[in-house]
A and B are shown apart, each in its own frame.
Chain A
Amino acid sequence: MAQKSTFGPREAPTLGSPSRALFGKMLKEAQLSVAERDFILEALRENVRLDGRGPDQFRSLNLSFGNEYGHVKLQVGKTSIVVRISAEVTKPRDDRPFDGLFNINLELSAMGSPAWENGRSNDLEAYVTHVLDSVIRRSNALDTESLCILKGVSCWSIRADVHVLDYDGNLTDAACIAIMTGLRHFRRPDAVVRDGQVIVYGVEERVPVALNITHNPLSVTFNAFNEGNNIIVDATRKEEQASEGELVIGINNGGDVCFLSKFSGAPLDAMEVVTKSNVALEKVKEINTKVDKIMQVDLARRAKLGMADESRAENDR
Chain B
Amino acid sequence: MVEPTASLSTLNRADGSASYKCPATGYDVLGSVNAPIELPARRDALKPEDATIEVFVKPGNTTAGVGERYVEGILRSVLTEVVLGRERGYPRRGVVITLAIVGGGSVERGDSYLTVLPALLHTSLLALLSASVPLAMTFSSALLGVTKSGDIVRDPSAADAKAASSLHVLAFSSKGHLLLNESEGCFDFDTWELIRERAVSICRGAAVSGTGEDVAMGERSNDARLDGFVRETVEDRLHVDYAWKIESN
Does B52 interact with chain A (Cβ within 8 Å)?
Answer: no
Give, as a whole number of angstroms, the nearest-CB distance from A79 to chain B: 9
Does B34 interact with chain A (Cβ within 8 Å)?
Answer: yes
**Given A110-B56, A161-B60, is A71 in contact with B103 using a C-beta cutoff of 8 Å?**
yes
In the bound complex, do residue A168 and residue B13 qualify as a contact, i.e. CB atoms below 8 Å apart? Answer: yes
Give, as a whole number of angstroms, the nearest-CB distance from A71 to chain B: 6
Give, as a whole number of angstroms, the nearest-CB distance from A182 to chain B: 11
In the bound complex, do residue A118 and residue B96 qualify as a contact, i.e. CB atoms below 8 Å apart? Answer: yes
In the bound complex, do residue B56 and residue A118 qualify as a contact, i.e. CB atoms below 8 Å apart? Answer: yes
Give, as a whole number of angstroms, the nearest-CB distance from A229 to chain B: 31
In the bound complex, do residue B13 and residue A167 qualify as a contact, i.e. CB atoms below 8 Å apart? Answer: yes
Residues A228-264 near B (CB distance < 8 A): none
Give the chain B neighbours of A112 by CB distance below 8 A: 13
Q: Which residue of B lies closest to A85 (CB)?
A: B61
Q: Which secondary structure characterizes the binding site on chain B?
A: strand
Most B-side CB within 10 Å, residue of A111, A118, A166? A111
Does A135 interact with chain B (Cβ within 8 Å)?
Answer: no
Does A16 interact with chain B (Cβ within 8 Å)?
Answer: no
Does A105 interact with chain B (Cβ within 8 Å)?
Answer: yes
Does B130 interact with chain A (Cβ within 8 Å)?
Answer: no
Give, as a whole number of angstroms, the nearest-CB distance from A244 to chain B: 24
Give the chain B neighbours of A71 by CB distance below 8 A: 102-103
Chain B interface residue count, CB cutoff 8 Å, equals: 25
Q: Which residue of A lies closest to B100 (CB)?
A: A163
Interface string of B54-79 (1 = CB under 8 A from A): 10101011110000000000000000
CA distance A114 to B14 in the complex (A): 7
In the bound complex, do residue A86 and residue B61 qualify as a contact, i.e. CB atoms below 8 Å apart? Answer: yes
Give the chain A neighbours of B100 by CB distance below 8 A: 82, 109, 111, 163, 165
Give, as a whole number of angstroms, the nearest-CB distance from B95 to chain A: 11
Does A90 interact with chain B (Cβ within 8 Å)?
Answer: no
Chain A interface residue count, CB cutoff 8 Å, equals: 27
In the bound complex, do residue A84 and residue B98 qualify as a contact, i.e. CB atoms below 8 Å apart? Answer: no
Q: Which residue of A lies closest to B17 (CB)?
A: A111
**Given A166-B11, A166-B13, is A110 in contact with B103 using a C-beta cutoff of 8 Å?**
no
**Given A84-B60, A84-B61, is A109 in contact with B13 using a C-beta cutoff of 8 Å?**
no
In the bound complex, do residue A163 and residue B102 qualify as a contact, i.e. CB atoms below 8 Å apart? Answer: yes
**Given A86-B61, A114-B15, A114-B37, is A109 in contact with B103 using a C-beta cutoff of 8 Å?**
no
Residues B206-246 near A (CB distance < 8 A): none
In the bound complex, do residue A110 and residue B34 qualify as a contact, i.e. CB atoms below 8 Å apart? Answer: yes
Give the chain A neighbours of B60 by CB distance below 8 A: 84, 161, 163
Give, as a whole number of angstroms, the nearest-CB distance from B102 to chain A: 5
In the bound complex, do residue B61 and residue A111 qualify as a contact, i.e. CB atoms below 8 Å apart? Answer: no
Give the chain A neighbours of B149 by CB distance below 8 A: none
In the bound complex, do residue B98 and residue A163 qualify as a contact, i.e. CB atoms below 8 Å apart? Answer: no
In the bound complex, do residue A168 and residue B61 qualify as a contact, i.e. CB atoms below 8 Å apart? Answer: no
Give the chain B neighbours of A68 by CB distance below 8 A: 103
In the bound complex, do residue B56 and residue A109 qualify as a contact, i.e. CB atoms below 8 Å apart? Answer: yes
Does A52 interact with chain B (Cβ within 8 Å)?
Answer: no
CA distance A71 to B27 in the complex (A): 13
Does B32 interact with chain A (Cβ within 8 Å)?
Answer: yes
Give, as a whole number of angstroms, the nearest-CB distance from B71 to chain A: 14
In the complex, given contacts A84-B61, A114-B13, A114-B15, what are 14 additional A-B residue pairs having Cβ atoms less than 8 angstroms apart?
Answer: A66-B103, A67-B26, A80-B11, A84-B102, A86-B62, A109-B98, A110-B32, A110-B34, A111-B58, A112-B13, A118-B98, A163-B102, A165-B102, A168-B13
- 24 chain-A/chain-B pairs, Cβ below 8 angstroms: A66-B28, A66-B103, A67-B103, A71-B103, A78-B12, A82-B102, A84-B60, A85-B61, A86-B62, A109-B98, A111-B14, A111-B98, A114-B37, A118-B56, A118-B96, A161-B60, A161-B61, A161-B62, A163-B60, A165-B11, A165-B100, A165-B102, A166-B13, A167-B13
**Interface positions of A (Cβ within 8 A of B):** 66-68, 71, 78, 80, 82, 84-86, 105, 107, 109-114, 118-119, 159, 161, 163, 165-168
**Interface positions of B (Cβ within 8 A of A):** 11-15, 17, 26, 28, 30, 32, 34, 37, 54, 56, 58, 60-63, 96, 98, 100, 102-103, 106
